Amino acid sequence: MEQISSKDNEKIKQLIKLQTSRKARRESGCFVAEGVRMAQEALRCGLQIRRVFGTQDNAGKYAGIWEQLCQRAQEAYRIAGALEEKISQVQSPQGIYCVCEVPQVSQQDILQQGERKLLALDCLQDPGNLGTIIRTADAFGADGMILGEGCADCYSPKVLRSTMGSLFRLKIWTVPDLAATLTALQQAGFCCYGAALDETALQLGEFPFPKRCVAVIGNEGNGISPEVLSCCGHTLYIPMKGEAESLNAGVAASLILWEMCR
């Protein structure tokens, strides 16, 4: 097994780029699953693993998972512990890094037949909110999520950590034109609900979601854009008794997901 000790090694440079650059992840079709928990989830969910890197000490500490990773990965490398300062995105690194291929999902799969409960996000930019929503969608049994232009990168290290592996189990579609996608969904028989308060808005909990539906959550500060909202057949709101003007986007999405999927 090749030993790498220099930060100038090309494989290490690429690993760092995948950790820090959305552009590098998009162009390569890969991301980094860092740490034992993420490595275990990548194995359990059958992700394609191109490369694994492990420090001498920590790869030995987690020998069982390291052996499985080496068997599944196309390439495996031992790296010097000193390199973790450059590579890791956490304060207490565990010394294991998996370069995985982004799962491929067909855009046409969004429109497939049968019962479908989907959540769409319009320019939701906070990585913590996105990670929370992905984990909640997985927990409540949503059939997938649609990310419009301007959303945070779901394969960034911060989002990955906050999903706790749910990202690997949930279908995620990234679309260039969310309004056009919602129009196509409605033509395919979906009911589309935008989370927005207007004179026609339906109160969450006071109506049944149909078997084929999609709910849309907007940007943290500005809500759903007018263009996307115009493509929603209905609007809905979450009733509140206190004096807060609005809910955090992650909390709002969680409440809507629970009601939609229960």
pLDDT range class, residue 113, cuts 50, 70, 90: confident
Last residue of a domain, one of 58, 78, 101: 101
Q: Tell me if 100 sits within 8 A of 42, measured CB to CB.
A: yes
Average pLDDT score over residue span 2-14 = 96
Residues 81 and 112 in one domain: no
Residues 80 and 116 in one domain: no
Residue 163's CATH number: 3.40.1280.10
Q: Is the pLDDT of residue 230 over 80?
A: yes
pLDDT range class, residue 86, cuts 50, 70, 90: very high
Burial of 8 (0-12, 13-18, 19+ CB in 10 A): exposed
Residues 97 and 153 in one domain: no
Q: Tell me if 248 sits within 8 A of 129, measured CB to CB.
A: yes
Token pair 């490369």 is found at 51
Look at residue 109 and give its three-state secondary structure.
helix
Residues 243 and 134 in one domain: yes
CA angle 105, 144, 24 (to 5 degrees): 50
pLDDT range class, residue 112, cuts 50, 70, 90: confident
Q: Can you tell me the distance from the alpha carbon of 191 to that of 219, in angstroms, rounded to the nearest whole number?
A: 21
Cross-strand partners of 194: 216, 235
Residues 111 and 223 in one domain: yes
Residues 145 and 209 in one domain: yes
Residues 166 and 57 in one domain: no
Q: Tell me if 58 sits within 8 A of 94, measured CB to CB.
A: yes
Look at the chain and count its residues.
262
Q: Can you tell me the distance from the alpha carbon of 11 to that of 16, in angstroms, rounded to the nearest whole number?
A: 9
Residue 91's CATH number: 3.30.1330.30
Task: Give the total number of structural domains in the chain.
Answer: 2
Q: How confident is the model over 119-148, as pLDDT tens digits?
A: 999 999 999 999 999 999 999 999 999 999
Q: Can you tell me the distance from the alpha carbon of 31 to that of 61, in angstroms, rounded to the nearest whole number?
A: 24
With a pLDDT cut of 70, the percent of the chain lying above it is 100
Q: How confident is the model over 26-47, as pLDDT tens digits?
A: 999 999 999 999 999 999 999 9
pTM for the predicted model, two decimal places: 0.92
CA angle 259, 261, 262 (to 5 degrees): 70
Residues 87 and 194 in one domain: no
Residues 97 and 224 in one domain: no
Range of the domain at 9: 2-101
Residues 257 and 172 in one domain: yes
Which pLDDT does position 67 carry in this prediction? 95
The tokens for 95 are: 């010394």
Q: What is the 3-state secondary structure (H, E, C) of 23-65?
A: HHHHHHCEEEEECHHHHHHHHHCCCCEEEEEEEHHHHHHCHHH
Which pLDDT does position 246 carry in this prediction? 83
Last residue of a domain, one of 101, 124, 156: 101
Residues 91 and 157 in one domain: no
Which pLDDT does position 197 carry in this prediction? 85
Residues 245 and 130 in one domain: yes
Average pLDDT score over residue span 186-198 = 94
Last residue of a domain, one of 55, 76, 101: 101
Q: Can you tell me the distance from the alpha carbon of 191 to that of 231, in angstroms, rounded to the nearest whole number?
A: 11
**Counting runs of H as helices and runs of E as strands, what totals does the chain give?**
11, 12
Q: Can you tell me the distance from the alpha carbon of 107 to that of 215, in angstroms, rounded to the nearest whole number?
A: 18
